[in-house]
Structure 1
Amino acid sequence: MQPKTNDSLSVGSINLILFAARQQGADADALARAVGIDAAQLKNPDGRVLIQQVQALWHEAIIATNDPALPLKLGEMVNPLALGVLAYVMMHCPTLGHVFDKLCHYQDIVCEGVQTTGQLIPADDKSGAKYVLSLRITSPDIIYPEHTFNSELSIYMSVIRALTGQRLTALETHFAYPRPSDTREHERVFDPTLLLFDASETTLVFDAALLDTPVLNANPSLFPLFEKHANDILNQLHTPSLKSRVKAEIVSLMKGEEPTLVSVADRLAMGVRTLQLHLKESGTSYQQLLDETRKELAIGHLREPNVSTTDIAYLLGFAEPSVFFRSFKKWTGQTPGAYRLAYA
């Protein structure tokens, strides 16, 4: 199974998941390897990981910890202010209302597959004014929406409490997935709140008066520095890098034969030497990007039990299955068959 998109998630978010899994006794390094994430990737605070890999990581982490509620516990198991630049932006907002505005604006920095929006609902004859924070899945690569919603909401609540120094709660919490057989962790994590499942949208509904709650230790002089960094990252995400464009063309051209540098350069309307030079300036090469793409696709395909390793070799454009086997072992330290037995 190859990724449907290039949607990605921040390395900071991945490290939170791995940390939580480690706290529950799992081998975090093995979990990262199982979904094709290299240790070097996890050291870059502004790095990105494909959402498809993150979804696979949630699946593996829940199996390894034997804890289906792990995503719900994420916010309280980790330091939610370790999310990276977005956390620093929110830390120096004057009020909770400003925090919500920045969370919605910079959501893609944390995860491109979820859209977070906020709406102020005026008071009526029945109730006071409310503020509704809504989450909507936007990436087709998110195949476990309940893990995504649970982890995001638990982190949001932890961030709100850490920034204000108060155990603030939502009036209502709505989940856009069916009611699970066991809701005790939902009740514990979001207590006290009205829990609603099978909702049309996943939301946190707050009393609008909370928007004026001050953020503790906010430093207005630091805010512009962190917001500039956040804007730079957001602009990079919304302007595909040359590396991501090359990998997208490799995927598009990989139909039973190896995509060549010449064919990719032609698709990008570039000369071969120009493309090679730009990739070198970016710290990579065409061969490295071809190997990365093949590795990511191979791991996805190996999770599909009905696709043989010989078929995978063909799909990835290898001339012979033996060449694919040798390459995969070089990438992961395991043969495709051994990897499938361990992780599929």
Structure 2
Amino acid sequence: MTATVLAGWLGVIEQAASRYGLDFASLLQRSGIDPELLQQGTARVPQRKISDLMQLAMVMSNDRGFALTVARQVRPPSWYSLGYAIWASDTLLQGCQRLQHCAALFADAFHVQLIEHDGELQVVLRQAPLLRDPLLMLDWEVFAATIVLTIRHLHPAKPQPLRVVLPGPEPEMTAPFKRLFGEALAWQGEEVVLTFSASLMKEWLPGRNPELARQHDELSQRYLQAMNHRSFSRQVYEQLLSRDSLREVEAAQVAEALHMNLRTFQRRLQDEECCFRELLDQARHALCCRYLNNEQLSMGEISYLLGFANVSNLYRAFRRWRQEAPGEYRQRRRHDSLACLQTGGRSAQALIPVTFR
């Protein structure tokens, strides 16, 4: 899955960057993001580019807590109609339920789950399955901080979470994180877990407005329906990535997996000016990079899994994709991973150019 984020979040990151005096136009250019997207709030930006933009801004600002600064700039319009619906909710629980059902509107890289037990309500953020580019620590931090700050804005008591668990290693400077999340903060989890008092989450909010919330719920549903309709090619691509092997895969097999006949399948792709062969090539590219990161797989095994007739075809395809040999890519990624471990960040990886209409 190639995750995306609502383009309106670029404005949020721009506001955060301005607090450090950073040249945002330069940051956008270095992250491969079209500056025109700043004026297109309902467009979509690849999650990976947003992640790289924040990572670069964090380095340039020399502030490990840059994600927290980003979260502090979030306002209802940053979430489009979902933001207004959450702010008009009757209770914090209802707002979290809206987030659970419509999170993909602003970011589809993670899923939200609500768990109530023993008088506590947990808001759990999990990475979406089949995500091609794993989320960074900064991504988890900005999502978690945004939820906590929104809850604090909405409730007059400005409640703190009872407990917070964040993924990734504990940073050297924990003070900014504990000021925002509270002292009961731990790292090294595999997901974000925000724990609140269940009774507090069910209290009436002073700013509740059911009619306003309903209208924005309808707008959110229309946006999500249009988003899903436009991305049939994404569904096909994700179906290809979910397979154990791309050997001898045919369009008819994927159409069957998506519960439609081949003619409808081909028409849907044509409507998006796309073809199955193009998506199969993109899926091979993405999976090849993933397989090369696994040192246990030989070139012959990778070639077989991707459906190439021989290793020579794999080499020719990889040079077309990335202008280098697969062995060179594997060696460079090994070097980047070692550097990443030494610096505690994520190594820079070339973007895989996948475009969905």
Indicate how the Cα distance of structure 1 residues 275 and 107 shifts in structure 2: closer, same or farther if over 3 A, else same: closer
Please, which of 60, 76, 94 is the counterpart of residue 56 of structure 2? 60
Please, which of 148, 160, 181 is the counterpart of residue 169 of structure 1? 160
Partner of 1:133: 123
Indicate how the Cα distance of structure 1 residues 184 and 77 shifts in structure 2: closer, same or farther if over 3 A, else same: same
Q: Percent identity?
A: 19
Query: Quick check: 1:22 aligned with 2:12?
Result: no
Partner of 2:112: 116
Letter in 1 for 2:160: T
- Offset from partner CA, 1:180-211 (integer Å, 9 cap, x none): 222111111123x4112223542111111111
Indicate how the Cα distance of structure 1 residues 99 and 29 shifts in structure 2: closer, same or farther if over 3 A, else same: same
Please, which of 197, 200, 207 is the counterpart of residue 197 of structure 2? 207
Please, which of 177, 188, 192 is the counterpart of residue 179 of structure 2? 188
Work out the CA distance in 1 between the residues paired with 2:236 and 2:27. 28
Partner of 2:307: none
Contact 1:75 1:157 in 2 (8 A): no
Indicate how the Cα distance of structure 1 residues 242 and 54 shifts in structure 2: closer, same or farther if over 3 A, else same: same
- Relative to the length of structure 2, the TM-score reads 0.65
SS of corresponding position for 1:37? coil
Work out the CA distance in 2 between the residues paired with 1:316 and 1:109. 36
Partner of 1:220: 210
- Offset from partner CA, 1:248-289 (integer Å, 9 cap, x none): 99x9xxxxxxxxxxxx9xx99679xx899945xxxx899xx9
Contact 1:113 1:142 in 2 (8 A): no
Q: CA RMSD in A?
A: 4.1
SS of corresponding position for 1:205? strand
Letter in 2 for 1:11: A
Work out the CA distance in 2 between the residues paired with 1:53 and 1:7. 10
Unmatched 5+ stretches in structure 1: 123-128, 252-263, 301-312, 322-342
Please, which of 45, 48, 51 is the counterpart of residue 49 of structure 1? 45
How many residue pairs get aligned? The number is: 283
Partner of 1:333: none
Letter in 2 for 1:207: S
Partner of 1:338: none
- Offset from partner CA, 1:288-319 (integer Å, 9 cap, x none): x99xx9xxx9xx9xxxxxxxxxxxx985859x
Indicate how the Cα distance of structure 1 residues 242 and 171 shifts in structure 2: closer, same or farther if over 3 A, else same: closer
Letter in 1 for 2:25: D
Letter in 1 for 2:124: S
Work out the CA distance in 1 between the residues paired with 2:213 and 2:67. 30
Deviation at 1:247, TM superposition (A): 8.8
Contact 2:82 2:102 in 1 (8 A): yes
Moved over 6 A (4+): 245-249, 267-271, 274-277
Contact 1:73 1:189 in 2 (8 A): no
Unmatched 5+ stretches in structure 2: 242-250, 256-261, 290-315, 325-348, 351-357
- Relative to the length of structure 1, the TM-score reads 0.67
Contact 1:146 1:177 in 2 (8 A): yes
